[in-house]
Structure 1
Amino acid sequence: MTSMFKRTALASTLAAVLFAGTTQAQSTVGEIHGSAAAAQTVQIHNIDTGATRTVTVGEDGRYRAASLPIGSYRVNVQKDGRTVSTREINVVAGQSSQVNFAADASDAYALDTVSVSANALAVIDIASVESRTSFTADQLNKLPVPRNVVDVAALTPGTVKGDGAFGNLPSFGGASVAENSYYVNGFNVTNLYNNLSFSEVPFQAIQQLDVQTGGYGAQYGFSTGGVTSVITKRGTNEWKGGASWVYTPAWGREQSPTTYTKDGNLYRTYRQNNENQNVYSAWLGGALVKDKLFFYGIFQADRKTETRYPVATSTAAAQRNTQSNPFYLVKMDWNLDDSNILEWTSMNNTQHTTNRYFGSSIDANGKPSTDDYLGRRHVKTGGATNIFKYTGYLTDDLTLSAQWGKMKSKNSSEYVNADGTVGRYDGNIDSAIAGCPYIIDRRASTLNGTTSPIRSCYLDSRMNRFDGEDQRTAYRVDLDWKIGDHSLAGGYSREKWTSEAGTAYAGGVLYSYNTNKRGEDYVQVVNFRNGGSVMVDQKSWYLQDNWQVTDNVLAYIGVRNDSFNNKNGDGRNFVRQGNIWQPRLGFSWDVFGDSATKVYGTAGRYSLPIAANVALRAATASYYTQQEFAYSAIDPVTGAPTLGDPLGEREIVNGESGVTPNPRSVAARNLKPYSQDEYILGFQHRIGSDNAFLDGWVVGAKATYRRLNNAIEDTCDWRPFYDYGKSIGLDMDTHGGSRFTPPQGTPGCFIYNPGSKVTLDVDLDGSGTLRKVTLPGTAFGQKAKRSYQALTLSAEKASEKLYVNASYTWSKNRGNMEGLVKSDNGQDDTGTTSAFDYPELMIGANGYLPNDRRHSFKVYGGYALTPEWSVGVNGLLESGRPTNCFGGGNGTVAGIPSYNSAFFYCEGKITSRGRGKRLPWTWTLSPNIVYTPAYARGLTMQLDVINAFNNSKPIAINEIAERGSDQTYYNTTYRVPTYFQTPRHVRLMVQYDFSL
């Protein structure tokens, strides 16, 4: 860790963490700019690769070299063919490094974020309007945080971890976890099926990780949350390699607390769970042809084994899981000459998971046992990505870049039962699905312990299409042109996303056993399956100008235009959105002209496309029915009931009858884009003082306001159309229709802008005739609302031995809609959650949202004790999230069918959002110690203790208090914790780096 705490490297890190420069296309390159005598020549030499660029200082005494690959550079100012002054700096992606030379060219001084050759202190980048945090490879290796992009992104101010149901993805600035974009080497690797995953690279392959939490420029789209960009390592003229072993042992991992129902029965124990992980990495990079052709390659083998036991009352089986992730990445860079560069990135993150299932039981003391083998599940995710990029320095002032890439990602699963039979779903909703049915047992006798849970041989609740695959093909072209005081940029991009997807219940059916208020047991039979091939076609262009208005004032003016075309499973368009204008403005004011005090601000509009899964769920054939029955017996192997008399009519939920709906009937004609406005005003100051402690601190304050303009969701309320049809004299009760149910063949749900006027082509009476119907937005309920206000205070310092970054954020996240997903019930149907399905569901919905954390204190950094020993720390103190009370199911509220416990309604009255007792404050402290022995150059040994004090407060609870006629289960599990803080665990790392 010694190198991390050298003064020059720390200065590099400090600037990278807080301050960004002039916007660069997707933050894969940086730039150098500054001043010198007019007409002089500035030579910029890449020390790592030997590439050289030469630019001429303009008549205004300024020069600029844009689109430079990250790395170490030597900047020479030349006069009459000889070098009269020189400077060495490090270029960081997305930043503008300022190096000023005296007018007489006899000396130089740098106002740069990174200086290699001098004791440079961190300064404020006056060319920045963005809110950006950057992490170098050295930081990523040595900070005591989990080794993944999500946990590193959570270090940034104003960012909180979302609900555990979504894998604790980051929520930036109050947005839902499904509103972010993720890039690798400038290529978008976000999963556009549901926006809840992305392609990751081997952690040791990351050279720089950028997290943009606001104010990003017009070249960025498809995000109303944050943008995370990974830049991978690349080869240099010096051959370098290394290997590492990261071990997270089961013996060093604590378990979450045992939980009990409100009546004292065991709910869940984690005591016998275990997890063991080994990550092996090896890498090598260098010049195949000096100064011309460079290679970097890394292979990572990640193997994890774990055992997990279910909830005590669950019918689910215990699992013994093996996860194998043989990741690799290859990066090739070819300097054709000093003006033309080719790059190729190839990576594969295919992940294979095998779940082996066993029958399980848990005794009254919480001790689990595992007996008979039930079968195994194979899951395959991830795949190959290839990215090609060309950069051409056409003139001193004009740069062209072009990129093309293709990404494939599997999302498939299959089951092999103990008897060898294979369970698969082929995505055809008419196909029979082999295997055991999904069982839920919530009978009162099970909950009070007088009856054992119903046994079943099902392995998991749902299965994905066994040949499921996502694919993205994308290209973009960018131009950067310096004209006088203006740095102009523009670009065009297009990408196509296809998903071969589908899900179904295990065995094709869910049997949910319940007890009603009268003490009678019954079973609800639910069928659900969907499948198809859907596509999203996206086109975008942008223009922007960084205008140096005066020596001290920079203005940023940008505009972005997006167009989206979504197609259903039959290849037909069901939504077209064009000319989505997104203006972006910003300024940066170097108050005293010494780069020590800066005032900056941004204002912009940001928009999201419609996720591909909307086409699958809302616009493609799906089958979803439910019906309640009495039963007389239960199969001891499968858990399937012997059905008796039906207790009600079979219900087609949301009109999902297995028929592809007419695309003209599934989306409002006047659909507006999902968009958000953002405003930021900030201040930064570098303290200069004779006091050693105060000197060098960079302090800042930033205010942020975000407001949702329009949301896109689905609604399933047929009543406004029914009433309209009645008003024009149609017979609305034929062909299976009713006030709550559309006629057969008519979709039960459609997507719209909540609160806006709806124009839709719809078959009102089942006659086959589509009628254009226009209804006011108030007929379907409230307008979607979400706002975020925050104030962030920050402080950072780097010195010879110390590096520290600290921040405090006060924020409010309020509205009636979290965003594209719903933490209230863990619903990951991006853009088609239960919110707004009926107006009654939104009564009381306005309040503090799930990602609201009023107070958040963060600190991380390190200290070099000696040249061989250093320590680091990562600390978080955060207030708890708001909670709710849900109930009113089975017709308790206004007779709405199919919605069990989805209303803000408990004990006979409305309970508004966020009015429940907040969850407790949480805090974690994660230290580490790093040893780099002098006797073994290149060797590093590190011990991290994550959550050293093993704090285990709940971070999510069951918020369902009642379920219509079935009270017993929910009365006993209301407010029982469902997720806790990650327990204490230790991580050991041994790494060896070498040069050839």
Structure 2
Amino acid sequence: GGQFAVTDGDGNYKITELVPGTYDVDISFETTHIVRAGVIVGASNVTPIFQAMKIGESIRIIGSPPPINIISTAKEKRIDRDQITKLPTPGDTIESVLGTVPGSQNDGAGVAFSGASGLENRYLVDGNDITGLTFGNIGSPILNEFVHEVVAVTGGYNAEYGRATGGIVNIITRSGTDTLSGSVFGIYQPGWLSAAAHATPSNSSSIDITGNNAYDGHLGFEIGGPIVKKHAWFYLGVAPKISRTDYTRTTKRQTDCRKVLDNGSLSTCEAANADGQPDLDPTTGFYLTDTLDKETRSATARTTNIIAKINAAPNARDKAMLSLIAMPSSSKTPALAGLPTTGTRSWGLTTDLAARWTSKFDEGRTEVEASLAWHRSTFNTGAQDSSYDNTALQVLAGGDLAHIAAFGGESAKTIEGCTDLGAGDPYPLISNCPMDNSTYTIGGPGSISRDREERRAARIGIIRRLDALGTHEIKVGLDVEDAQKVSTRMYSGGGLIQNYGSTIYVNRWAEIAPPGSTDPAFDRTCSTADPADPNGGDKMLRCRYLGGLDDPATKIDGQTVNWGAYLQDSWQPLRNLTLNAGVRYEEQRLRYAQRLRGTQDALTGNYLGDNAMVLRGNFSPRIGAIYDPTNQGRSKVYAAWGRYFEGIPMDINDRSFGGEVSLRQTYDANTCGPIDPATGFADGNACLSTTRSPASQELLGSSGVLVAPGIQAQYMDEGLIGAEVALPSNFVFGAVLQHRRLGRVIEDVSPDGANTYIIANPGEWSAEEERKLEQQIATTTDKAVRARLERDLSLYRGIRQFDKPVRDYVAVELSVSRRFTSGLYLSGSYTYSRTDGNYPGLVSYDNGQIDPNISSQYDLIELLGNRRGRLPQDRPHYIKIDAYRGFDIGDDSVLTIGTRIRALSGIPRNALAAHYLYGGDESYLLPRGQLGRTDFEHGIDLQVSYKRKLTKTTAAELYVDIFNLYNRQGTFRVDDTYAPQFSLSSGGVGGLEQNANPISGGTYEDLIWSKRIDADGNESAQPLGRNPNFGNTTARYAPASAQVGFRVTF
């Protein structure tokens, strides 16, 4: 709808609460009449219209002013409807379009901005938070067809935004207007329009997996129009989506029939060349193998995107919006290296409901905005055949495929080709199909989920405009959210079995009885190392094993309460000078699981109240200045500084504050039953149900989780300085220097070697809290309590021994853009950045762990060696070019060609080994990034569309997107494991466990001198066994593909 405003004596005016879109601005004064047509208004943006007038003239000016926001220091990228539809986008949900943001990159967990990880962003839809609660990813991936505009703010955001140390992504959905309009649309990407994915063979397995798209597409409609013209409008969209990926399982055997000739080439395959060593390609480093058989297993997924929205404007002062977003989904994922029974299915429903009201008072000088929002998401997993939900997953490690095939998962061709020393064995001196450093799964699906997360949020904001030495726009606001989560701890069959042939590990979820409890449900006895015993003895604890779907003890109720308030003033003492100053205050209260509140920790002896961790005193100052040298809105020079606090995701509630206890029992295989000569393994299920005592057992998590007194919230400081200028040709050039540095981090640490974990700020602990605890100890007469407090004091002091986490990001970003009236659009950016430190953020990229704020990165002091260096986000050079051009064909048709060009540096490479307590890839043998980086990556995407008017109000469009035009399937990830946890087997016999400590300051030449550490942490004189797949590509970018789409609009 239209709005009007009256200027002040200086000609200043402001029109607010406009729906993003294109408008005509009608300026009238006495006999003067000027119309500025085609003015583009974006979300959370100010479009300046500086218009000189001559008395008596009447003119019409077509064209929007340059897209320079002269009152904001935000480093932002706006992606409008034309860019969404006219550029080739490799994906159909909102995350796919964020690739146009300068410097952004896909880190595997989400879209990462400005040196942060992909889990540090905040996602808003029409101003309401849809960020996932458990990990901080996008909670509701909205279909691009329902989106009008996306604004990604990657630096310099004001005090009204918080709980993010990455970026703020504001998604503006489409709305109805006074004209009934809509579209029917669809995209289809068949497998035959995709190039075959390059194989990523592994030297440590006899099964190679290659995934190829079978089909992917959606079909839907969207429609909007008036309910009451000029006062109320509706919008509705529905789009089902289906996809299938075909995975080709290739079984292979190693060969022993070639030798390297004097000229470096390989001989032909002759039996006389056999030497008992598998043939190796001297060029690639891969084993030379014979293909035995191939099988295809498929993964399928179904999702429906639904959006319903009502906007209302009962009068010129008040506006309201009610919206609903729903996404039911389901999928099936096959077992790839294992029996089909271990495949899984998932299903869930994500819902976002929001209501918003805005009112203006005092001739528009005061605005009030209030909103209520509810986000709910469910996630369920289980076996594809539900009868296997009661069968344990057994993970077989090592051995060979000939014996493993006896479980019934492989073809006759594979069995025949893998069988050693048979009549037809062409390579009798080697093991044909070893499964070194790889696993094979049998049984059920493993983890079972019945999870639900909910956020209830309320927000109110007030804007007041006043004149005092210029103009002021003062904003004040308050937001509150109650986040709740129900998660489950279930293994199919009651446990997870890791079978190493001679040794079997049984992992179960357990619950420890509170001290003094007489509940008969705690009918087991669990033992674990007693951290309070100076002699290293064990502590016996009453416990129970958590059961299956019907056991209420498997459900964990978590809760976090957040609130924040802000005050901000945007002062313009001059028309071309704006000074912004604001402060935001936040608190976060993370609570214990419902059933733990009011209980006593079984090992620490600490009493647990309602709140596990309260983060208060989080003041975030934000300041900035913007100057427009042209005084016409065609340039700006700006600078800003701000502090931004993290909003901790709820994974920590599930694990650290939910009483998570995992029981790991170690059995000699013969204790549970004989080794089956047909398979080479004992039946691990016998260990799951045996009444015999294990050789050892360990309770992980039973030591309780301490929270360091005086712990403070994680934050990041940012400074930036930049400039933008619009030339007369309407080219807009920009340059910005950005520096971000983590100031404090929250992680779990263990000062006593993994016996006790403390949620803390690594490297620092409050001296004031230390004095308080010392005073408490001095006045305590109870010996047991005093001993507990003294032990706690010693642990808290140990926090200071850890290195302080560092993540330092510095970037220079250059950009250019222009929107031509002829239908040509161009946007390009070059970002030079460096990301250095010892802490990448909420994602632990090297071992694949996603446990925000409780990862293994800071658990043990001995694992901190060599972690300082180039972080995984460090990709110094990044070039992005987006462009499209429309060509008129007659009066009724348009041919549009769009392209995306990308070029970026590769990822840093590392050399990793296992740790005797923490397992694989936890020890940095060499300094981070010491081995250089992968190749420079580049690619081109292309879109060609043809649009034709069918009637005055109806048009049809057909388009083709081509991705990775020249099929460069570059390296996305490499195998950084230099030494696997278990050395390579020989002849199907499981190898020895091998761990290693970091080689402080070492180089590649030092790796051969690294010595094996056994399962008890004792170093031997034996060298490490090298992973034959070390340095090889394990994941690639998607192959060349094409999709066909259509859109009929009316």
TM superposition score normalised by structure 1 = 0.80
Specify the alignment match of 1:302 in structure 2. Answer: 241
Matches within 5 A, 1:439-518: 439-443=395-399, 449-450=432-433, 456-464=441-449, 466=450, 468-484=451-467, 485-514=471-500
Specify the alignment match of 2:746 in structure 1. Answer: 712
Q: Point out where structure 2 has 5 or more consecutive residues left out of the alignment.
A: 254-293, 403-429, 511-553, 598-609, 986-990, 992-1025
8 Å CA contact 1:173, 1:225 repeated in 2: yes
Q: CA deviation at 1:503?
A: 4.0
8 Å CA contact 1:317, 1:459 repeated in 2: no
Q: CA deviation at 1:594?
A: 3.5
Tell whether 2:564 aligns with 1:533.
no
Specify the alignment match of 1:943 in structure 2. Answer: 960
Secondary structure (helix, strand or coil) at the match of 2:763 reads coil
Q: CA deviation at 1:59?
A: 2.9
Within the candidate set 90, 95, 108, 2:45 is matched to: 95
Q: CA deviation at 1:136?
A: 1.4
1:423-476 deviation line (CA, Å, top 9, x unaligned): 2xxxxxxxxxx2232414234788954457986543544322x2x110010010
Of structures 1 and 2, the larger Rg is shown by: 2
Q: CA RMSD in A?
A: 3.1
Matches within 5 A, 1:365-380: 374=341, 377-380=344-347
Aligned letter for 1:702? V
- Quick one: distance in 1 between partners of 2:328 and 2:938? 35
Tell whether 2:731 aligns with 1:697.
yes
Specify the alignment match of 1:788 in structure 2. Answer: 809
Specify the alignment match of 1:902 in structure 2. Answer: 922
Within the candidate set 370, 383, 395, 1:402 is matched to: 370
Q: CA deviation at 1:76?
A: 3.1
1:876-900 deviation line (CA, Å, top 9, x unaligned): 101001021111522xxxxxx3444
Q: CA deviation at 1:875?
A: 0.9
Secondary structure (helix, strand or coil) at the match of 1:277 reads strand
Q: Point out where structure 1 has 5 or more consecutive residues left out of the alignment.
A: 1-48, 110-115, 362-371, 424-433, 516-520, 689-694, 720-739, 742-747, 891-896, 906-910
Cα gap change, 1:647 to 1:672, in 2 (>3 Å): same
Aligned letter for 1:270? T
Tell whether 2:23 aligns with 1:69.
no
8 Å CA contact 1:160, 1:853 repeated in 2: no
Matches within 5 A, 1:855-894: 855-867=877-889, 868-890=894-916
Specify the alignment match of 2:290 in structure 1. Answer: none
Specify the alignment match of 1:330 in structure 2. Answer: 308
Tell whether 2:75 aligns with 1:131.
yes
8 Å CA contact 2:396, 2:499 repeated in 1: yes
Identical amino acids, percent of aligned pairs: 21
Cα gap change, 1:982 to 1:85, in 2 (>3 Å): same
Cα gap change, 1:317 to 1:382, in 2 (>3 Å): farther
Greater shift, 296-305 or 973-982, is seen at 973-982
Secondary structure (helix, strand or coil) at the match of 1:483 reads strand
Secondary structure (helix, strand or coil) at the match of 1:63 reads coil
Q: CA deviation at 1:123?
A: 5.1
Q: CA deviation at 1:313?
A: 9.6
Greater shift, 665-674 or 629-638, is seen at 629-638
Specify the alignment match of 2:409 in structure 1. Answer: none
Aligned letter for 1:421? S
Q: CA deviation at 1:105?
A: 5.6
Greater shift, 135-144 or 334-343, is seen at 135-144
1:147-199 deviation line (CA, Å, top 9, x unaligned): 22222112111211113xx2xx1111111111111011100000121113321
Q: CA deviation at 1:269?
A: 3.4
Specify the alignment match of 1:36 in structure 2. Answer: none
Matches within 5 A, 1:614-629: 614-629=652-667
1:806-844 deviation line (CA, Å, top 9, x unaligned): 111010001110111201111011111101101111111
8 Å CA contact 2:317, 2:360 repeated in 1: yes
8 Å CA contact 1:618, 1:666 repeated in 2: no
Q: CA deviation at 1:591?
A: 1.6
Cα gap change, 1:766 to 1:950, in 2 (>3 Å): farther
Q: CA deviation at 1:768?
A: 9.2
- Quick one: distance in 2 between partners of 1:559 and 1:312? 61
Specify the alignment match of 1:429 in structure 2. Answer: none
Aligned letter for 1:992? V
Tell whether 2:652 aligns with 1:685.
no
Cα gap change, 1:965 to 1:638, in 2 (>3 Å): closer
Specify the alignment match of 1:602 in structure 2. Answer: 640
Q: CA deviation at 1:285?
A: 0.7
1:252-306 deviation line (CA, Å, top 9, x unaligned): 122332223347x6552316x4431120111111001111111110011111123
- Quick one: distance in 1 between partners of 2:439 and 2:224? 57
8 Å CA contact 2:392, 2:496 repeated in 1: no
Within the candidate set 125, 128, 149, 1:187 is matched to: 128
More strand per residue: 1
Specify the alignment match of 1:268 in structure 2. Answer: 208
- Quick one: distance in 1 between partners of 2:630 and 2:784? 72
8 Å CA contact 1:130, 1:216 repeated in 2: yes
Specify the alignment match of 1:152 in structure 2. Answer: 97
- Quick one: distance in 2 between partners of 1:633 and 1:402? 67
8 Å CA contact 2:621, 2:643 repeated in 1: yes
Cα gap change, 1:57 to 1:638, in 2 (>3 Å): farther
- Quick one: distance in 2 between partners of 1:375 and 1:283? 40
Greater shift, 589-598 or 320-329, is seen at 589-598
Specify the alignment match of 1:60 in structure 2. Answer: 10
Cα gap change, 1:219 to 1:943, in 2 (>3 Å): same
Secondary structure (helix, strand or coil) at the match of 2:793 reads strand
Tell whether 2:939 aligns with 1:924.
yes
Q: CA deviation at 1:510?
A: 3.2
8 Å CA contact 1:405, 1:473 repeated in 2: yes
Specify the alignment match of 1:564 in structure 2. Answer: 588
Cα gap change, 1:462 to 1:767, in 2 (>3 Å): farther
- Quick one: distance in 2 between partners of 1:287 and 1:823? 49
1:695-735 deviation line (CA, Å, top 9, x unaligned): 3321121111001000000013325xxxxxxxxxxxxxxxx
8 Å CA contact 1:563, 1:577 repeated in 2: yes
Secondary structure (helix, strand or coil) at the match of 1:66 reads coil
Specify the alignment match of 1:283 in structure 2. Answer: 222
Aligned letter for 1:617? R
8 Å CA contact 1:437, 1:639 repeated in 2: no
8 Å CA contact 2:740, 2:809 repeated in 1: yes
Specify the alignment match of 1:958 in structure 2. Answer: 975
- Quick one: distance in 2 between partners of 1:557 and 1:454? 57
Cα gap change, 1:292 to 1:156, in 2 (>3 Å): same
Aligned letter for 1:837? D
1:555-607 deviation line (CA, Å, top 9, x unaligned): 11111110111112125210111231001111111123233332111110001
TM superposition score normalised by structure 2 = 0.76
1:351-409 deviation line (CA, Å, top 9, x unaligned): 12234x47878xxxxxxxxxx86376431234221100001011221111110011110
Aligned letter for 1:391? T
8 Å CA contact 1:76, 1:85 repeated in 2: yes
Count residues in correspondence. 850
Cα gap change, 1:849 to 1:503, in 2 (>3 Å): farther
Secondary structure (helix, strand or coil) at the match of 1:67 reads coil
Cα gap change, 1:954 to 1:611, in 2 (>3 Å): same
Specify the alignment match of 2:392 in structure 1. Answer: 436
Aligned letter for 1:807? S
8 Å CA contact 2:711, 2:765 repeated in 1: no
Cα gap change, 1:639 to 1:544, in 2 (>3 Å): farther
Cα gap change, 1:317 to 1:62, in 2 (>3 Å): same
Secondary structure (helix, strand or coil) at the match of 2:314 reads strand
- Quick one: distance in 2 between partners of 1:73 and 1:887? 61
Cα gap change, 1:454 to 1:831, in 2 (>3 Å): closer
